[in-house]
Amino acid sequence: MLLQMIGCDHHQAGLEVRQQLAFDGSQTRAALAAWHRQFPATELALLSTCNRVELYAAAEGEDSAPAAEELVASLLNFRQLPQEQLASQVQTLTGSEVVRHLYRVTSSLESMVIGEPQILAQVKQAYLHAHQLGCTGPLLHELFQSALRTAKRVTGETSLHKHRVSIPSVAIADLASCVFETFDDKHVLVIGAGEMAEETLRYLRDAGRAQIHVINRSAERGRELAHTWSGTYHAWDELWDQLVRADLAISTTSAGQPVVTGADYAQRVTPHRHQRPLFILDLAVPRDFEPSIGEDPGVYLYSLDDLDHACEQNRQARAAELPAAEKIVAQESSRFVAEINHRATTPVITGLRAGLERPKTAELERLFRRLPDLDAASQAEIRQFADRLVNKMLHPPLESLRDASQNGPPHGLLDALKRLFHLED
């Protein structure tokens, strides 16, 4: 079995490169279909998120597998990107490296925000897309299913995923949830359309089915963000009306002074809300909302300074859980690699057993013909003796194969056994 992974993530490539390589759902299906026609003997799955683009490939042997350079070329060619500029930023992994990497990715140990929960669903979806297109088989099935089991162990046996580790995750999961029991049908106003706003919306979408409304000075970017999250874009002059309607406001503009002053809020918003709760997450530097707005009845105003302490506590709690998570990944990846390597020995083991069973059966038949007066009980005892003898003879080579499989495919030992016992491929 030959495993390969080619791709890039936020460790190797900047956002500009990752954006060029990114695949949406329809592009993923088209690419997998094209690559499956190009490499019909290879199982394929494509994982594309905002932080990574990774193509996984598996084949029964090296002869039937494409070279890593071919996979890289196929990836870049599909996106119509120059190989001479980007090939150096594409990472290549093989064998046990692929197993460990996928386990770490699925367990969120490779995420930009370690412990974030979205990646598990993204890995599941990536495999499902490939499976539905007929691009997977038993090799990738076992790899991805074992990766998902490993992630579940990390979630169940450590507290890594219980600690919020980013400002948006702390704001939504730990603070806003104290104000709202559910985010279903809540009116969410996003002021500005930067990366922080998008990350906050990602956590919010996991928490419920909120109604997203975007206001941004750049209509093009505002409409793009609203479309991404199935929301509605509003012109900048609708700001005050949207603040009146909002349950949750997320502000991430790059304005040099407050977008909403205390005086404006008191005059244009407060009289129309009737103390209905409003959670304001001000992620802008400098602030978009003047601090005095937080004194208004029903307003819960949090700035970056307010959230920093909570985030630091969560980072420390997360760091304490990393060794346990890494240990689980190491255990599971070693177990999977050993099982795959041992599977390569199955034909030789089958040949060894068959090679000893044939003469055993022939000799027993010859013995029973020469001793026709043996009763059934005596024959059974002799057969049992022969079986035990064969098993004892097989034990040393089988143990050697199992031990050798822990460190990689035992090609040398397999070749030696084939020659010694005249086993065919």
- The candidate with the shortest Cα–Cα distance to 116, out of 51, 173, 161, is 161
Alpha helices in 51-194 (DSSP H): 68-78, 83-86, 96-106, 118-132, 138-157, 167-169, 177-179
Cβ pair 31, 124 in contact under 8 A: no
How many CB atoms lie under 10 A from the CB of residue 38? 13
Look at the alpha carbons of 377, 383, 389, 392 in this order and tell me if their dihedral is positive or negative: negative
Cβ pair 345, 405 in contact under 8 A: yes
- CA pair distance 2, 257, nearest whole angstrom: 58
Tell me the sheet residues that pair with 282. 251, 303
Both structure tokens of 116 = 């974030």
Q: In angstroms, what CA-CA distances link 349 with 140, 343, 356, 400?
A: 24, 10, 11, 11
Cβ pair 294, 300 in contact under 8 A: yes
With H, G, I as helix, E, B as strand and everything else as coil, classify residue 159. coil
- The candidate with the shortest Cα–Cα distance to 189, out of 111, 109, 252, is 252
Tell me the sheet residues that pair with 57. 4, 44
Name the one residue in this structure whose structure tokens are 């046990």.
96
* Burial readout 184-206 (b: 16 or more C-beta within 10 A, e: otherwise): eebbbbbbbbbebbbbbbbbbbe
* Burial readout 46-72 (b: 16 or more C-beta within 10 A, e: otherwise): bbbbbbbbbbbbbbbeeeebbebebbb
State yes or no: is 178 an active-site residue.
no
- Of the candidates 50, 135, 178, 311, the residue annotated as catalytic is 50
How many CB atoms lie under 10 A from the CB of residue 250? 28
How many CB atoms lie under 10 A from the CB of residue 230? 10
Name the one residue in this structure whose structure tokens are 């500005």.
192
Catalytic residues: 50
